[in-house]
Amino acid sequence: MRIAIALLQGALGGAFVVILFFILLGGGLLLVVVFGGRAAPAEGVDRRLGRSLFPARALCVVGMSFAVVGVFFVSIATDVLGMILGAVGYYLGARVFGAVVIILSVVTLFIGLLAGQDAIPGSYG
């Protein structure tokens, strides 16, 4: 954790966080597109009711990106946004992935707040 905080204090710190965010976002969306194919509905199930889980999984990927990047900030905005996107993804049908994003957002919220007190000078007035 000290290495990440040291990177944030330098000129490359902001660029590191932005690059990390877009790597997680692009890689996650790529995984959702490649491995997120919809299974064929069972016999007797109306095909009109079968809907794609792509929007739910895409929202969860964006929420996960915000959650992971949120560990580097003392502000709670990125983690709360990750929790909201995870909850929306959960209710749209990505049950396991949405729950994982919500839990990851809560954990990184506490890590960011606890580590920020000691590691980032002047973060708390």
pLDDT tens for each residue of the chain, 125 residues long: 444 555 455 555 667 777 777 788 788 777 777 766 554 454 444 344 456 788 888 899 999 888 888 887 777 888 999 999 999 999 988 889 899 999 999 998 888 887 766 655 555 55
Tokens linked to 48: 């009109």
Residue 7 has φ and ψ, to the nearest 5°, of -65, -35
**Spatial separation of the C-alpha atoms in residues 71 and 117, rounded to whole Å:** 13
Indicate the DSSP class of residue 37: P
pTM reported for the whole predicted model = 0.68
Residue pair 83/35 in contact (Cβ under 8 Å)? The answer is no
**Spatial separation of the C-alpha atoms in residues 64 and 57, rounded to whole Å:** 10
